[in-house]
A and B are shown apart, each in its own frame.
Chain A
């Protein structure tokens, strides 16, 4: 396993660029791949896609319910529809369409939630997507995935094309540092990626919170000698129960970290699994508390709630001491 790459890598592309570049390459070879957008080709980085493959992009305008319904119709007629829209609107305004037209009707739409979590930072609560895991976890027949670096994003898009079932992919805006140089750690929906191994504590994170979790693990090793396992639990549903239960067995405590409200997210998914399996060791959930966030950039907001290398390390230290 290689060393983590720092966030200062000048060649590191924004996550949404990786999504769109991968989709474009795949779509060039597969005319059934169709991007469906809600006036979001700019923010979804689909401008080049639209210029290169104008017959494979459908512009709906700002109408998310219709976006998802149309995508369901396209999918029902054999198109590999990628419905791209800011995560906050896609999963709130169009929730009934996701439930009925996509998941219940089993139309294999790939729902792409862009600028997720608090990516929009100071634009505030209307633009934050801190509910999407919670609402979609409550819906049957949908896979929910939040990649944690550009490798995972690329692999997720490739898998999404083959995935003939309803799927939600959640992307952030900014570059996400590669978690490991070793791309040999496979990526598969429903299987967490262990990006660092250690016997003392397990930090289960996803999306943009995996990197600070990894930094926290480095810090803990250096400063306290605590050896942490760090997992990119990119698939929230179905959760990799086998891995979580293994970590419960092998480590002294579990911490979950997510860019989502603590209600209904990755942490609660893990907690439910662990409790039902008799887990009785220390457990902490880190995320956005049940409040509307403070104003600030994405990093400032995450730092405010302790979702940083220092904040996560502090929680781990506290849990192990207690």
Chain B
């Protein structure tokens, strides 16, 4: 898929995220908008995974550690044909499988997540299994920058480097905000690159909204032989809707009717 096509898809995905969050009257708007370009590029330009090969042991794996931004995952999976997009009209509603965090009840979801600090260890185990079986698939996991203080991430970072998991790529959706405020105010995790490099990872930084740059960085994986790869994707919480951008209030804010219309108008065609 070309960069222009990916950009167009990101617009559609952003509109869908808002549409289904408004329908559900719940969701994580800001973070879903910050990470959606990453999911778009992974699913439409990088990973070998589709509804047709989802049971194949050779498929690439995506594990969304920042599970609260499930809306970004669901609209992407729907677009990939894992399930009818109309299913998302039931998002967060009584007895729906489309709950507010990733669940394997939804076709295309690899692991149940939601509690933070879980994705990276599971991704490490999956990547390790690939190495043991001499399989070529790659494992991608998306972490929020706000979940980095969870100790399990750092335990897993050690293991990934110890086992030289160059088939593993962790991506940090580095929008620099979490529910209470800035990361710097809550628990300063900077410098993220230096921490991971010291742990034995190869690190690249990228504009997390530049689809071409994202394509290029994933194509360069592994960034160094025998090292796990970390992509620090610099993003903007609420990206694409001016009044949501860089605002903590939209961490799980739900637009009212007027805000929804204004947001759609901004996103454009």
Using a CB–CB cutoff of 8 Å, the interface residues on chain A facing chain B are: 34, 55, 58, 60-61, 63, 65-66, 68-79, 81, 96-97, 100-101, 104-107
Contact = CB atoms under 8 A, between A and B. Distances in A.
22 contacts: A58-B163, A60-B155, A61-B158, A63-B152, A65-B117, A65-B152, A66-B121, A69-B122, A70-B122, A72-B111, A73-B123, A76-B110, A76-B111, A76-B122, A76-B126, A77-B57, A77-B125, A77-B126, A77-B129, A77-B133, A96-B118, A100-B112
What 6 pairs across the A-B complex have the smallest Cβ distances?
Answer: A73-B125, A69-B121, A77-B129, A66-B155, A70-B125, A63-B155
B57 A72 contact: no
Interface of B: 57, 61, 104, 110-115, 117-118, 120-130, 132-133, 151-152, 155-156, 158-159, 162-163
Contacts of B156: 66, 69-70
A71 B133 CA distance: 15
B129 to A, nearest CB: 3
A73 B141 CA distance: 12
A63 B125 CA distance: 14
Contacts of B117: 65
A101 to B, nearest CB: 6
A72 B125 contact: yes
Given A79-B132, A97-B118, A70 B152 contact: no
A207 B110 CA distance: 36
Contacts of A78: 57, 129, 133
Contact of B121 (A58, A61, A65): A65
Given A66-B121, A69-B152, 10 more contacts: A66-B152, A69-B125, A72-B121, A72-B125, A73-B128, A76-B125, A97-B118, A100-B114, A100-B118, A101-B112
B155 A105 contact: no
B125 to A, nearest CB: 2
Most buried by A among B61, B112, B122, B132: B122
Contacts of A79: 129, 132
A96 B110 contact: no
